[in-house]
Homo-oligomer: A and B are copies of this chain.
Amino acid sequence: MAYQATATAPVNIAVIKYWGKRDTALILPTNSSLSVTLDQDHLRSTTTSRADAAFQGPDRLWLNGKEEEIKDGGRLWVCIKELRAWRREMEESDSALPKLSEWPLRIASYNNFPTAAGLASSASGLAALVSSLSTLYALPQSASELSRIARQGSGSACRSLFGGFVAWREGTSPDGSDSLAEQVEPASHWPEMQALICVVSDAKKGTSSTSGMQRTVATSPLLSARLAGVPARMKAMESAITSRDFPAFAELTMADSNQFHAVCLDTSPPIFYLNDVSRAIIALVEEINRANTTPIAAYTFDAGPNAVIYAQAKDMPVIITAVKKFFPTEQEFTDPLKVGEAPLPQGFNDTVVRHGGWEKGAVKALIHTRVGDGPRVLGESDSLLGENGLPKVLA
Contact = CB atoms under 8 A, between A and B. Distances in A.
Given A225-B222, A272-B279, A258 B251 contact: no
Contacts of A286: 269-270
A229 B221 CA distance: 8
B204 A354 contact: yes
A351 to B, nearest CB: 9
Contact of A276 (B255, B259, B275): B275
A266 interface: yes
Contacts of A268: 251, 254-255, 258
A222 B226 CA distance: 7
A305 B111 CA distance: 39
Given A268-B251, A268-B255, A276-B276, A262 B204 contact: no
A12 B258 CA distance: 30
Nearest to A271: B258
Contact of A265 (B229, B251, B261): B261
A263 interface: yes
14 contacts: A204-B354, A221-B226, A221-B255, A222-B262, A224-B225, A255-B268, A258-B265, A258-B266, A258-B267, A261-B265, A265-B265, A269-B282, A269-B290, A270-B282
Given A258-B268, A272-B279, 17 more contacts: A204-B354, A221-B259, A222-B225, A222-B259, A222-B263, A224-B225, A225-B225, A254-B268, A258-B266, A258-B267, A259-B265, A259-B266, A262-B262, A262-B263, A270-B286, A272-B282, A276-B276
